[in-house]
Amino acid sequence: MVEDILAPGLRVVFCGINPGLSSAGTGFPFAHPANRFWKVIYQAGFTDRQLKPQEAQHLLDYRCGVTKLVDRPTVQANEVSKQELHAGGRKLIEKIEDYQPQALAILGKQAYEQGFSQRGAQWGKQTLTIGSTQIWVLPNPSGLSRVFTGETG
């Protein structure tokens, strides 16, 4: 089981779709070697060094957290049903209401659309909020995702 890393008043909570098998096997989020999460949050300035999956608890030192829409691990995110995503969206709203981060970053446009019943979402900041928490939709950093490579220049 991959546990959430949450605390009240974080700058941002990154929300993945669901754990992959590597993460489920290790218990650490974004654990597959091809997953770009740790590299991208470092490059974006959320951390001052590139953390390893087993250092995930250190995200709290940077006032960042992680959670997921669906607990069930799969090989690919497309194995998660629309019903699971929708139910996960309801649970996520409750978590965000409890912890009240400044921002929620959903990692995947389809996950946001199905989890929050929003059609035609664009990348970036959304008009929908959860209380005072801003919602952002960002590309999924999974190595299987072809939307975003994380490379600059």
Q: Is the dihedral of CA 45, 49, 50, 51 positive or negative?
A: negative
Residue 90 within any structural domain of the chain: yes
Residue 112: which CATH number? 3.40.470.10
Least-confidence region, from 2-11, 24-33, 74-83: 74-83
Cα(39)–Cα(57) distance, integer angstroms: 16
Cα(116)–Cα(128) distance, integer angstroms: 9
Cα(135)–Cα(83) distance, integer angstroms: 21
Residue 152 within any structural domain of the chain: no
Domain count, the chain: 1
Residue 71 within any structural domain of the chain: yes
Residue 145 within any structural domain of the chain: no
pLDDT in tens, 130-147: 999 999 999 999 865 455
pLDDT in tens, 89-127: 999 999 999 999 999 999 999 999 999 999 999 999 999
**Structural domain for 29, as ranges:** 12-138
Q: Give me the helices (H) in 100-147, please.
A: 109-115
